[in-house]
Structure 1
Amino acid sequence: MIFYTFTEQRLREFTEQVFLKMGCPEADAKLAADVLLKSDLRGIDSHGVARLTGYVRLWEKERINARPQIKVVHETATTATVDGDAGLGLVVAPFAMQLAIDKAKTYGSGWVAVKNSNHFGIAGYHSLMAVAEDMIGISMTNASPLVAPTYANERLLGTNPMCYAFPAGKYPPVVVDMATAAAANGKLEIAQRANSPIPEGWAQDKNGQMSTDPNELKAGGSLLPLGSDKTHGSHKGYGLSATVDILSAVLSGANYGPWVPPFVAFLDPPTDPVGEGIGHFFGAMRIDGFRPAQDFKDHLDNWIERFKSAKTVDPEKRVIIPGEPEYAFEAERRINGIPLIEAVVTDLNQLAVKMGIEILDA
């Protein structure tokens, strides 16, 4: 597989230019680019600049509003529902998380549900906004139906990621950022570009049989919940995914389950929607609403140290703290640049030509 490496700044400039060409205000273009670059920096390549062409195609189909009028449509002291006006989730989601944070600053916690939005990038970006304020951050979103519930052979749920982020003291934050499916769809896309098989347990074919073909979804198959099958706990992944769907969409007034609009532009949204757009859910909790923040961070440092020192079944391996690999990726990539596979660079340069911006010089 061929990789090309680009500086963070070059990819940031390129991404901002794409969003500006879509008609986004400058501040929104910078914010959207920041969300995508955070993904690439943290090694979550499936949700970074590789997604740019997908956003552009949805905008061309008039399914993304480049200049949304984001507004609060229901509110109490500690809760709110936000209408994203079909805007980029990369812009709508930070607005909603900031609202949750502002409420938490005053009342100890803030909870915000979102409807009428689009794909919001990595959940970790939004949760880490709260961590920066000495808060626990929670973020989740529903997504287009690609996942079959336990025992089913029908796509009813999205990969529906959730993220919990906790500030530590001398260590990086603990960040639990995961899809509630056995694998995120972006990982299948990476395997497709690399022409590589996927691990058994990620997907099933249209007949409900396990498959290692990364193109299975295109052939009518489905992703499996976290746990893969009932024997290995898929009912738990299904339950987590259902929780995300209910909090993100049933609560906010967004589409849920099989009615969630697809991220790909060549598929039309359902003709019988039950809500508006896709949904998100955010929470921010002040740590000093429970105990002094420094006490919590000191004890989370102790928690981290104890887990990192755990005895392992293989002396060559060690226990990894949630978020630790992504932190290491970010530190390394800020210095050495961000690698993109050849297929992604080709897609981005085709996009650059179409939109009249400078191509990425590989």
Structure 2
Amino acid sequence: MSSLIFQEKKLRAFTESVFLAMGCSNTHSALAADVLLASDLRGIDSHGVARLSGYIRLWKKKRINATPDIKVVHETATTATVDGDGGLGLVVAPFAMQIAMEKAEKYGSGWVAVRNSNHFGIAGYHAMQAVSRDMIGIAMTNASPLVAPTFTTERLLGTNPMCYAFPAGKYPPVVVDMATAAAANGKLEIAQREQKNIPAGWVQTHTGDSTTDAHALKAGGSLLPLGSDREHGSHKGFGLSATVDILTSILSGANYGPWVPPFVAFLDPLPDLPGEGIGHFHGAMRIDGFRPAADFKHHMDNWIERFKSAKPINPDQPVIIPGEPEVEAEKVRKLEGIPLSEPVVKDLGELAVMLGIGKLEE
């Protein structure tokens, strides 16, 4: 399927106009757009502007508060719990990450749990905020239940991504940003738009059978944990996903497991829930709380060089450092523009008409 190319500046302006039309402030609109554009620039198309219509559907169902009163509701010197007041996760999560970094600046580390939020974009955006401060950044979120734990067909967990970002010296940071499911739901959406099959091991049918049909999830199937099945380690993906769910929700007072509200507003009204909204968890650790930052970054460079020099199985495919493909994608897209598939462009055009804003131009 062909793509159209859009320059970052124009795509950013359009995205900001969508959030302004929702009633978000100028500051919040610019921040929310920055989170989504970071995803598109880094080549993570499933979490960029393609998500805009989803935010609008939630806003229309009054599931997103465009003018939230985001506040700390519980706090110690090194920890805090934030109530996002139903705001955009794209805005709530940076608020929480800022608190984590401020606490780390003062006390060596900072940890913030979040409740009553929404989808926060890519975890990497938030964790990477700490890198420029010579800190290790951590960000994770729970999500709508689409994943069946090992040995069941029942959807009980989200894709529950986690990210750890480590600064280096002369090299870009090492960014481990991943879903704890075999694949993110956004990748299925891309396959659906492009009318392609998906790899085996991503999804099972409602009866628990393996499938390559990108529409199987909508037909009652479920995503699989990282590892796909028990023989390939799905119990480990289940364990990682459970860890994210507990830290982001049971710790904060957000909804957890099968009670996490869906990203699309198909449950109306929502049933009685055990918590509030979606949950996040953020952390920041000052490197000089463990050793001099310069020493750490020197050895990070050495670590990167050694792994890059590992003998490859295929000479044309060297070892890829976590975060490296995203850095390369950003270099290219900053210069050449951001590709959007035709279905996404059509979707954004319909959004512009619905909201009465200027259309997106190439």
Please tell me the TM-score bracket, short chain as reference: over 0.9
**Structure 2 counterpart of 1:124, which letter?**
G
How many angstroms apart in 2 are the aligned matches of 1:352 and 1:272? 34
How many angstroms apart in 2 are the aligned matches of 1:270 and 1:60? 14
Q: What's the offset of the Cα at 1:217?
A: 1.2
Q: What's the offset of the Cα at 1:269?
A: 6.3
Residue in 2 that maps onto 1:134: 134
Residue in 2 that maps onto 1:96: 96
Q: Is the 8 A contact 1:349 1:359 kept in 2?
A: yes
Q: Secondary structure at the match of 1:132?
A: helix
Equivalences for residues 62-211 of structure 1 within 5 A? 62-211=62-211
**Structure 2 counterpart of 1:158, which letter?**
G
Q: What's the offset of the Cα at 1:272?
A: 2.1
Q: Is the 8 A contact 1:191 1:214 kept in 2?
A: yes
Q: What's the offset of the Cα at 1:265?
A: 1.8
Bigger shift: residues 261-270 or 319-328:
261-270
Q: How many residues align?
A: 362
Deviations 1:45-92 (A, max 9, x none): 000000000000100000000000000000000000000000000000
Residue in 1 that maps onto 2:213: 213
Is 1:274 matched with 2:274? yes
Q: Secondary structure at the match of 1:339?
A: strand
Q: What's the offset of the Cα at 1:361?
A: 2.7
Q: What's the offset of the Cα at 1:357?
A: 1.0
Equivalences for residues 1-362 of structure 1 within 5 A? 1-268=1-268, 270-362=270-362
Q: What's the offset of the Cα at 1:220?
A: 0.4
Q: Is the 8 A contact 2:90 2:119 kept in 1?
A: yes
- State TM-score, norm by structure 2: 0.99
Q: What's the offset of the Cα at 1:268?
A: 3.5
How many angstroms apart in 1 are the aligned matches of 2:360 and 2:14? 8
Q: Is the 8 A contact 1:81 1:113 kept in 2?
A: yes
How many angstroms apart in 1 are the aligned matches of 2:360 and 2:330? 21
How many angstroms apart in 1 are the aligned matches of 2:80 and 2:3? 44
Q: Secondary structure at the match of 2:133?
A: coil
Between the aligned residues of both structures, percent identity stands at 74
Alpha-carbon RMSD across the aligned residues, in angstroms, is 0.7
Q: Is the 8 A contact 1:175 1:322 kept in 2?
A: yes
Q: Is the 8 A contact 1:205 1:216 kept in 2?
A: yes
Q: Secondary structure at the match of 1:153?
A: coil
How many angstroms apart in 1 are the aligned matches of 2:169 and 2:217? 43
Bigger shift: residues 158-167 or 211-220:
211-220
**Structure 1 counterpart of 2:349, which letter?**
N
Q: Is the 8 A contact 2:203 2:223 kept in 1?
A: yes
Q: What's the offset of the Cα at 1:360?
A: 1.6
Q: Is the 8 A contact 1:262 1:268 kept in 2?
A: no
Q: What's the offset of the Cα at 1:99?
A: 0.2
Q: Is the 8 A contact 2:261 2:277 kept in 1?
A: yes
Q: Secondary structure at the match of 2:321?
A: coil
Q: Is the 8 A contact 1:261 1:269 kept in 2?
A: no
Q: Is the 8 A contact 1:84 1:117 kept in 2?
A: yes
How many angstroms apart in 1 are the aligned matches of 2:211 and 2:333? 34
**Ranges in structure 1 where 5+ consecutive residues have no aligned partner:** none
Q: Is the 8 A contact 2:10 2:361 kept in 1?
A: no
- State TM-score, norm by structure 1: 0.99
Q: Secondary structure at the match of 1:219?
A: coil
Q: Is the 8 A contact 1:261 1:268 kept in 2?
A: no
Q: What's the offset of the Cα at 1:16?
A: 0.3
Deviations 1:206-265 (A, max 9, x none): 000011111111100000000000000000000000000000000000000000000012
Q: Secondary structure at the match of 1:40?
A: helix
**Structure 2 counterpart of 1:160, which letter?**
N
How many angstroms apart in 2 are the aligned matches of 1:315 and 1:301? 22
Deviations 1:251-308 (A, max 9, x none): 0000000000000122346412010000000000000000000100000000000000
Q: Is the 8 A contact 2:36 2:47 kept in 1?
A: yes
How many angstroms apart in 2 are the aligned matches of 1:69 and 1:151? 42
